[in-house]
Amino acid sequence: MNLLAAIREQFARALVLLGVEPGELSNYTSLVLTSQDAKFGDYQANCAMPLGKRLGKPPREVAAQLVAALELGAICERPEIAGPGFINLRVKDDWLASQVAGFLSDPERQGVPQTASPRTYVIDYSSPNVAKPMHVGHIRSTVIGDALCRILKFAGHQVISDNHLGDWGTQFGMILYGLKHFADAKALNNQTLEELTRLYKLVNSLVEYHDTRKEKLPALEARLAEAERTAARLSAVSPPSDAKEAKQAAKKVRQQEAAVVELRSELAELRAKVAAVEADATLGKLAAEHAGIGQQVLQETARLHSGDATNIELWRKYLPACLTEMEAMYARLGVRFDHTLGESYYQDRLRGVVKDLCEKKLARESDGAICVFLEGHDVPMIVQKQDGAFLYGTTDLATIQYRMNHWRPDAILYVVDHRQSLHFEQLFAVARLWGYGGVELQHIAFGTVLGDDGKPFKTRSGASVGLASLLDEAVERAYAIVSQNDDARPEAMLSEVERRQVAERIGIGAIKYADLAHNRTSDYVFSYDKMLAMTGNTAAYMQYSYARVKSIFTKVIADSGLPVADTRPDATILLGTPQERALALALVQFAEALDRVTTDYRPNHLTAYLFDLATHYSTFFEHCPVLRAETEALRASRLALCNLTARTLRQGLELLGIEVVERM
Ligand code: ARG
């Protein structure tokens, strides 16, 4: 158990003695927290105030009763009661020192306990649509999913990772259409990956062109007209006499006018896109010739699904090429999956799913489609369309059934863009009705990656940025930084090979860390400058901190002439200064940070922790001479703290999927 959990457990005991019902305990124990300011001790309990109110007693009296019931004597100094009834706890120095000393002989886990209740998790992540180039959005799923896998595994859970590829949807219909209409007939069976990507992009842009002209433009025009009418109506109203009301009315007018401006610029953008296609001699001609392309792409997809021999053959032939590119990306990111069971894997189960749902009276026909109506949802979940086609959700239901039958998980986590939340709400509701009420189904949603302009991240030309070029650019920039950072001393210079390797780790680490350090549910602005900064909460700073600690050991080795630094597992830890003590406490709190991640599946708890640790280390290093410590014992203790910091940083980064560098 970690320190915070141990303290909370004591509070729970004390709260029960004061008459709190077991069901209400967590309302109060959740108010026992790591303190934000050392002057309030290391941990702080704010539960005496609400409990006092509840029991009708003065909070300070309740606090005193809680304190009297706590059995924390071995770990903490006598708790202090402050202000209206805050309980401040300070960890005993000798307890801290002995804990930290214990970590020295536990290099694998640094005192992080294994969970007492291991579960089986299936983590569905990355899951790109093949044939479509991966983009920056997929990286979030991949990076967050990978970090969660690593952290849950480290905590002692069984983790099954599954890449639920979109290998059977419309995007393949686009390739099929492209192969049949735009590829050299003789070369039909011989397309390179570049050619497939070109075909996909071409068909996609034609589909989009027609869709924009026929659907999006008219819809946007209607919205604009409506907004303009509202704006005109609002500004025609004479202002109310009351000053406050007049101000509010004026504000409303301004907001509406701003909305009109926004819609006009959106419309101009769409019109420009359409015009660009028409102005392009080749593209314009193709667009005119392939007016029905949207429908036909759907037909190609439907033919694939119904087992059409040509389409199946082309699909079999070209799927591997699409996968190769993705695999190269995963290898570069250091991500691997236990399973890659794409949507196609479940195709022969879909009929059975719909049949079963109908037999159980969960689904029924409505307007020709087969739907599951859900309480509290305005729209039903469609599981089979009028034309017989199955949907994304039908596949997801079949997937749940398969996973439950084969792996019997306690939880299935879906690391997917927040724009799919409605899909998952419906999916989980249907799955529960269908009999899968016992498994924890969680949508691990994440926000959008934005560009400087606050809009979804795009290149200057407007295309969404391919993942490979994104990584390349980060690595190039890291290389420039590494080259520039060169120390003048020849022995400190990295060789070209080392520099390339370090740049790869720093560049990829920067992208991953930036993704993980943001609260996953919020959008974030993608900025190479920020993510590669050498100070602040960045991978580069963590990697630099790690390399800096390691350089001390390089020095120790050089001075002693021994092949390895002497880091004795039996060193006594001395915590004579506030900086040493703060660093020791931070080391002990690694387990708490990891626990937080496994509680709400947010890796940013770990990045925040690592930043905190690196900051404490930096303060320690400024104030406490290590190699020149006054006594041999102090030197051994401080070296041990350095060693543990390095190990924790390395372990922490590794759990985020980020590699350290020994020198940079
Ligand atoms: N292929 C989907 C996409 O790129 C994500 C799939 C997520 N997983 C799932 N079981 N639905 O949008």
Share of the chain above pLDDT 90, in %: 77
Q: Which of 91, 126, 148 is the last residue of a domain?
A: 91
Compute, in angstroms, the gap from residue 599 CA to the centroid of ligand 1. Answer: 23
- If asked whether residues 542 and 647 sit together in one domain, one would say yes
Say which CATH number the domain at 35 has. 3.30.1360.70
What is d(CA 454, CA 448) in angstroms, rounded to the nearest whole number? 10
Nearest residue (by CA) to ligand 1, atom 11, is: 396
Share of the chain above pLDDT 70, in %: 96
In a domain, 441, yes or no: no
In a domain, 506, yes or no: yes
With cut-offs at 50, 70 and 90, classify the pLDDT of residue 576: very high
Mutate to test the pocket of ligand 1, among 124, 126, 127 (most ligand atoms within 8 A of CB): 127
- Give residue-wise pLDDT tens across range 45-96: 999 999 999 999 999 999 999 999 999 999 999 999 999 999 999 999 999 9
- Ligand 1 pocket residue status of 134, Cβ below 6 Å: no
Q: Which of 45, 61, 91 is the last residue of a domain?
A: 91
- Ligand 1 pocket residue status of 397, Cβ below 6 Å: no
Ligand 1 atom nearest to 137, measured from its CA: 4
With cut-offs at 50, 70 and 90, classify the pLDDT of residue 491: low
Q: How many domains does the chain have?
A: 4
B/e letters for 432-456, b = 16+ CB within 10 Å, e = fewer, are ebbebeebebbbbbbbbbbbeeeee
Pure H helices in 291-349: 293-305, 309-333
In a domain, 528, yes or no: yes
- If asked whether residues 266 and 391 sit together in one domain, one would say no
User: pTM for the full model?
Assistant: 0.89
Residue 578: per-residue pLDDT: 95
- If asked whether residues 513 and 618 sit together in one domain, one would say yes
- Ligand 1 pocket residue status of 395, Cβ below 6 Å: no
- Ligand 1 pocket residue status of 416, Cβ below 6 Å: yes
- Give residue-wise pLDDT tens across range 163-210: 999 999 888 899 999 999 998 766 666 778 788 888 998 999 999 999
Greater model confidence, 336 or 664: 336
- Ligand 1 pocket residue status of 168, Cβ below 6 Å: no
- If asked whether residues 396 and 506 sit together in one domain, one would say no
- If asked whether residues 486 and 401 sit together in one domain, one would say no
Ligand 1 atom nearest to 138, measured from its CA: 4
Q: Which residues pair with 501 in a beta bridge?
A: none
- If asked whether residues 585 and 516 sit together in one domain, one would say yes
Instruction: Assign 3-state DSSP to the chain and report helix, strand, coil percentages, each to 5.
Output: 60, 10, 30
In a domain, 611, yes or no: yes
With cut-offs at 50, 70 and 90, classify the pLDDT of residue 494: confident
In a domain, 109, yes or no: no
- Ligand 1 pocket residue status of 396, Cβ below 6 Å: yes
* Whether the Cβ atoms of residue 644 and residue 104 lie closer than 8 Å to each other: yes
- If asked whether residues 244 and 382 sit together in one domain, one would say no
Compute, in angstroms, the gap from residue 538 CA to the centroid of ligand 1. Answer: 29
Could you list the residue range(s) of the whole structural domain that residue 209 is in? 193-307
B/e letters for 586-602, b = 16+ CB within 10 Å, e = fewer, are bbbbbbbbbbbbbeebb
- If asked whether residues 15 and 81 sit together in one domain, one would say yes
Say which CATH number the domain at 639 has. 1.10.730.10
- If asked whether residues 508 and 634 sit together in one domain, one would say yes
Compute, in angstroms, the gap from residue 166 CA to the centroid of ligand 1. Answer: 7
- Give residue-wise pLDDT tens across range 323-380: 887 898 899 999 999 999 999 999 999 999 999 999 999 999 999 999 999 998 889 9
Q: Supply φ then ψ for residue 218, to 5 degrees.
A: -60, -40
Ligand 1 atom nearest to 417, measured from its CA: 12
- Give residue-wise pLDDT tens across range 310-320: 999 999 998 88
Compute, in angstroms, the gap from residue 415 CA to the centroid of ligand 1. Answer: 9
- If asked whether residues 382 and 246 sit together in one domain, one would say no
Q: Is the pLDDT of residue 463 over 60?
A: no
Compute, in angstroms, the gap from residue 388 CA to the centroid of ligand 1. Answer: 22
- Give residue-wise pLDDT tens across range 388-432: 889 999 999 999 999 999 999 999 999 999 999 999 999 999 999
In a domain, 139, yes or no: no
Ligand 1 atom nearest to 128, measured from its CA: 4
Residue 566: per-residue pLDDT: 62
- If asked whether residues 266 and 363 sit together in one domain, one would say no
Angle at which helix 293-305 crosses helix 170-182, to 10 degrees, equals 110
Q: Token pair for residue 284? A: 């314009």
- If asked whether residues 639 and 563 sit together in one domain, one would say yes
In a domain, 264, yes or no: yes
Ligand 1 atom nearest to 399, measured from its CA: 10
What is d(CA 226, CA 220) in angstroms, rounded to the nearest whole number? 10
In a domain, 138, yes or no: no
Sequence-ordered list of residues with C-beta below 8 angstroms from that of 494, at least 6 positions apart, any chain:
482, 486, 502, 663, 664
Q: Which of 255, 287, 307 is the last residue of a domain?
A: 307
Average confidence (pLDDT) over 495-508: 92
